[in-house]
């Protein structure tokens, strides 16, 4: 399934964390460097959280992640 098809409808309970990561990414675009260490038990949703962040950055903020030339 392409990353574009992931929406908030299929993502539950991590909106606060997603907003924090969006803020970190926006800060990086503005020149404020920072690190994020994401950890947790297996199956808790770390990868899904990053998928949603990627989806947001790729489709909503073209200046943060460039689209492939396909």
Residue 24's domain comprises 3-60
> What tokens does 26 get?
């926006």
Asked whether residue 67 is assigned to any structural domain, the reply reads: no
Residue 42 has pLDDT above 90, yes or no: yes
Rounded to two decimals, the pTM is: 0.66
Band (pLDDT 50/70/90 cuts) for residue 69 is very low
The total number of structural domains that make up the chain: 1
Question: How far apart, in whole angstroms, are the C-alpha atoms of residue 70 and residue 61?
Answer: 19
Question: How far apart, in whole angstroms, are the C-alpha atoms of residue 50 and residue 48?
Answer: 5
Asked whether residue 49 is assigned to any structural domain, the reply reads: yes
Asked whether residue 30 is assigned to any structural domain, the reply reads: yes
Asked whether residue 19 is assigned to any structural domain, the reply reads: yes
């Amino acid at each position: 399934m392409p990353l574009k098809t992931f929406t908030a409808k299929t993502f539950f309970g991590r909106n606060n964390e997603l907003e924090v990561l969006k803020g970190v990414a926006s800060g990086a675009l503005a020149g404020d460097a920072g690190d994020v260490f994401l950890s947790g038990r297996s199956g808790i949703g770390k990868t899904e959280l990053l998928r949603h962040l990627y989806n947001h950055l790729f489709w909503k903020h073209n200046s943060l992640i460039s689209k492939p030339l396909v």
